Chain A
Amino acid sequence: DTEVTQTPKHLVMGMTNKKSLKCEQHMGHRAMYWYKQKAKKPPELMFVYSYEKLSINESVPSRFSPECPNSSLLNLHLHALQPEDSALYLCASSHVPGAEAFFGQGTRLTVV
């Protein structure tokens, strides 16, 4: 089983809303990642969690707040987003940092 589950699949939110994206895996992976992908562009790394600790933050604005409550779950809390933050948000996990990564289906976010 190499499944990474992301919810919701689609999300529309206003600029004053607070929402959260969820990512779950039950493969015993100890590294989890958030990526952002704009249309016709490659995914861009946002955050890396290694053994439930934030190890990499690629200078992401503070309106994106990651959280890793346990080794199976990764959240991305969203607050005061801008329309340019509309994108596909992808979560991935790997056995250990840098190992083969597996992706979820993504959450397509629209900020209005």
Chain B
Amino acid sequence: ETGVTQSPTHLIKTRGQQVTLRCSSQSGHNTVSWYQQALGQGPQFIFQYYREEENGRGNFPPRFSGLQFPNYSSELNVNALELDDSALYLCASQPGQSNTEAFFGQGTRLTVV
């Protein structure tokens, strides 16, 4: 068990709605990254937060946004949901900015109908 927890574990949303996913990082870790894993593919980097500031972003549209809080927990917000947003969303925490091993949560399975 990594100590990274995500909530909820599953949810179903309707196209056009908004969703917020949450992540509690491992104790002592100040860096959180979010990934989207579509079925049959590897995780794709969405963005990373380091000490409450965005610290890099992958090829995702602006309707994917995030926050990191002073306790280093994080949120991923997706607006105007599309069917293709259906995926497993993974949160990973790291002890610093450098990309050593990242500790992943179990993920949130989002289904958009």
A, B from the same assembly: no
